[in-house]
Amino acid sequence: MIPELGHYALVLALALALAQSTVPLIGVRRGDAALMEIARSTAIAQFAFAAVSFAALTASYVMSDFSVENVALNSHSAMPLLYKYTSVWGNHEGSMLLWVLILALFGALFAWFSSNVPLALRASALAAQGWVAAAFYLFILLTSNPFARLPAPPIEGLDLNPILQDIGLAIHPPLLYVGYVGFSMAFSFAVAALLIGRIDAAWARWARPWILTAWIFLTLGIAMGSYWAYYELGWGGWWFWDPVENASLMPWIAGTALLHSALVMEKRGALKVWTILLAILTFSLSLMGAFLVRSGVLTSVHTFATDPTRGVFILLILVVFVGGSLALFAWRAPMLKQGGLFAPISREGALVFNNLFLITACATVFVGTLYPLALEAVTGAKITVGAPFFNLTFGPLIVPVLLAAPFGPLLAWKRGDLLAVSQRLLAAAALAVIALIVTFIVQGRPVLAPLGIACGVFVIAGALTDVAERTGLFRTAPQVALRRAVRLPRSAWGAAFGHLALGVMLIGIIGESQWNTERIVAMKVGDKLALAGYDLSFDGAGQRQGPNYTELFATFTVRRDGKVLGVMEPSKRTFAHRDMSTTEAALKTRGFSQLYLSLGEVEPDGTVAVRAYYKPLVLLIWIGAILMAIGGAFSLSDRRLRVGAPRPAKARAKAALQPAE
């Protein structure tokens, strides 16, 4: 009964989405406020039904109702309760249901918190949101029904893929989806602006909180996925330039560019058309990510299952939405009025520079991700484009963005003085040079590492310089500076944190990639292993029983200069129901660095293959991502965004209904 209820709720949500996508537009056309207001109630009701549907599937999982095919294929009664919840989205159908749930949530939140947005803009944006939702409801109902029943229910389920039986599954997909799907709001805003044919600086003010929210979650989602891969896959990599990872990175880069260009639009009224295009592109890249991951053109842990009809359907959604919105853009964009003027050397100019390089870098990722697919479709040749390609293309294009980051916030709007800004950054540059020399003396060899560390230090010091300049630190009394710091707009703190985070992340990346030590050895009980100044001794192995697996573990004692620092216990879990095993790495954190141990095969004579890594500064990579998200949260809490734009005057509200000439 519960699954049928869920299925029915999903159909109702589709019906509401269809109403939401048409009625308000008729209202906009006729100038009928009552029809336009329908967008709000349908958006909220649609979310309610999507939530009922999601709750029904969750209930089926928690109760281990194996008569539901989806549950039978992906769950097991002995699985811990947390994983019963998380396995709802640990499969194709369920993850799509989570996708539409979040999509509906964004629509409902916008409907709820948009009293300050002009009626026509709000109605059109919600209608666009309705189209996207309707397309995905149709996709689920027609190709990926999570509520399908089995005629002969099995007594026991097939269990969830063991790699997914981890706390990571509880966190990574929801965060990532909030990010991916959140960009649908940027898309809906852009489409609404094009439909109405009028756009001004206030648009950016209304759209920016939604873009920021999506961006914060996407940042955290990608970082969490990276950390999960790092500790779960057992070979210590945190980014593989895998097409699925790229699929999430591309909307993130485009979204970052969008955040910056929306800033120009909000403050200066310039770059309007570009911002609209970027909003469309960002969500298009999200959709393309969904296509790459969900259609089965790629094989990966993320793809779950392959079914050609699904691929074709998502491709159709992709073509209709990307093609449709770009066509609308081509038709309506020339009608939008051009915005303010600015000199090349100015805050706007710096942000254009940022956009130019970010989008080009994004394009190289796009080529690297899709070229193998295109080549295979055309010539049949199978190739892989891996890390070397991206290091050669993405790397050089992202360095200018990093170097320019400290300059941007210090430059004045409209017309800036590069010389004066450079003088202010002298201290930061001096610190960078010191870092360069120190790193070079300490480790000698490759030039890349000292340069990278220097660049990271420059970015961090540059971000701090910005705060120091704004608060007048070192120039006024500390109390005055403190008072100014408290009064500083939160968005300034946000920018400082975000940029500082880039530097932190870069230092982590350089440390991990340039200085990591790797040892792969076969060890017997009693053997010792020296690794980057630490001594690991293999004390013994044992076996224990988990809820739905048996675990073979090895115990290592970690010493440094004879002093015992602790015990590490890497293990291998064997899941009988799936006939699979997973590697559980053991991590020991030392400052920002980590020791990493994972087990390979165990031979009959008791020899264990061990992978041991010392990863210097590796934690800075994820700390950087968290700092970035904190920066985003600061910006989001800025008064100007929280309160929103002032309610437009009646005259303006009327003008909003008519296309601009």
Partner 1 sequence: MTRKQRRFGLIAGSLAVLGAAVGLILYALTDSIVFFHSPTEVEEKNIKPGTRLRVGGLVSPGTVVKGEKLSVQFEVTDGNKAITVAYTGILPDLFREGQGVVAEGVLEQPGRFYADSVLAKHDENYMPREVADALKKQGYWKDDYDKKPQVPMAGVTGAAQ
Q: Residue numbers of the site for partner 1 (CB under 8 A)?
A: 161, 163, 234-235, 298-301, 306, 341, 343-344, 352, 356-357, 360-361, 363-364, 367-368, 371-372, 381-386, 388-389, 392-393, 396-397, 520-522, 541, 543, 550, 552, 572, 574, 578-583, 600-604, 606, 609, 611
Calpha distance 180→95 (Å, rounded): 13
Our CB check for partner 1 shows the closer of 284 and 582 to be 582
Our CB check for partner 1 shows the closer of 154 and 324 to be 154
Which residue, 234, 345, 273, 202, is CA-closest to 655?
Answer: 202
Q: Are strands 608-615 and 517-523 parallel, antiparallel or unpaired?
A: antiparallel
- Which value, to the nearest 10 degrees, does the dihedral of the CA atoms of residues 205, 495, 272, 348 take? 140
Q: How far apart are CB 151 and partner 1 at their closest, in Å? A: 19
Around Cβ 375, how many Cβ atoms within 10 Å? Answer: 14
Our CB check for partner 1 shows the closer of 40 and 347 to be 347
Calpha distance 345→417 (Å, rounded): 7
Q: How far apart are CB 618 and partner 1 at their closest, in Å? A: 20
CA distances from 254 to 218, 236, 262, 418, 627 (A): 12, 28, 12, 27, 19
Q: How far apart are CB 142 and partner 1 at their closest, in Å? A: 23
Q: How far apart are CB 572 and partner 1 at their closest, in Å? A: 6
Sheet strands (E) in 195-305:
none
Q: How far apart are CB 522 and partner 1 at their closest, in Å? A: 5
Calpha distance 598→609 (Å, rounded): 9
Our CB check for partner 1 shows the closer of 92 and 205 to be 92
Q: How far apart are CB 603 and partner 1 at their closest, in Å? A: 6
Calpha distance 75→383 (Å, rounded): 35
Around Cβ 376, how many Cβ atoms within 10 Å? Answer: 13
Q: How far apart are CB 597 and partner 1 at their closest, in Å? A: 12
Q: What is the DSSP letter of 646?
A: P
Our CB check for partner 1 shows the closer of 81 and 374 to be 374
Strand-pair partners of 615: 594
Q: How far apart are CB 558 and partner 1 at their closest, in Å? A: 20
Which residue, 356, 349, 206, is CA-closest to 268?
Answer: 349
Our CB check for partner 1 shows the closer of 581 and 637 to be 581
Q: How far apart are CB 384 and partner 1 at their closest, in Å? A: 5
Our CB check for partner 1 shows the closer of 80 and 606 to be 606
Q: How far apart are CB 341 and partner 1 at their closest, in Å? A: 7
Our CB check for partner 1 shows the closer of 433 and 448 to be 448
Our CB check for partner 1 shows the closer of 542 and 566 to be 542
Q: How far apart are CB 238 and partner 1 at their closest, in Å? A: 16
Around Cβ 122, how many Cβ atoms within 10 Å? Answer: 25
Interacting residues of 234 by C-beta distance below 8 A, sequence separation 6+: 582, 583, 584, 585, 598, 599, 611
Q: How far apart are CB 617 and partner 1 at their closest, in Å? A: 25
Our CB check for partner 1 shows the closer of 114 and 571 to be 571
CA distances from 588 to 8, 230, 232, 393, 506 (A): 49, 13, 15, 34, 22
Our CB check for partner 1 shows the closer of 162 and 631 to be 162
Grouping H, G, I as helix, E, B as strand and the rest as coil, residue 492 is helix
Calpha distance 309→321 (Å, rounded): 18
Our CB check for partner 1 shows the closer of 559 and 577 to be 577
Calpha distance 372→381 (Å, rounded): 8
Calpha distance 469→291 (Å, rounded): 46
Our CB check for partner 1 shows the closer of 485 and 525 to be 525
Interacting residues of 257 by C-beta distance below 8 A, sequence separation 6+: 278, 282, 354, 355, 358, 359, 362
Q: Number of C-alpha atoms within 13 angstroms, CB side, residue 182? A: 25
Q: What is the DSSP letter of 157?
A: -
Q: How far apart are CB 357 and partner 1 at their closest, in Å? A: 6
Q: How far apart are CB 579 and partner 1 at their closest, in Å? A: 6
Calpha distance 586→568 (Å, rounded): 6
- C-beta of residue 131 within 8 angstroms of C-beta of residue 220: no
Interacting residues of 158 by C-beta distance below 8 A, sequence separation 6+: 72, 73, 74, 75, 76, 577, 578
Radius of gyration of the chain (CA): 27
Our CB check for partner 1 shows the closer of 363 and 525 to be 363
Calpha distance 293→303 (Å, rounded): 5
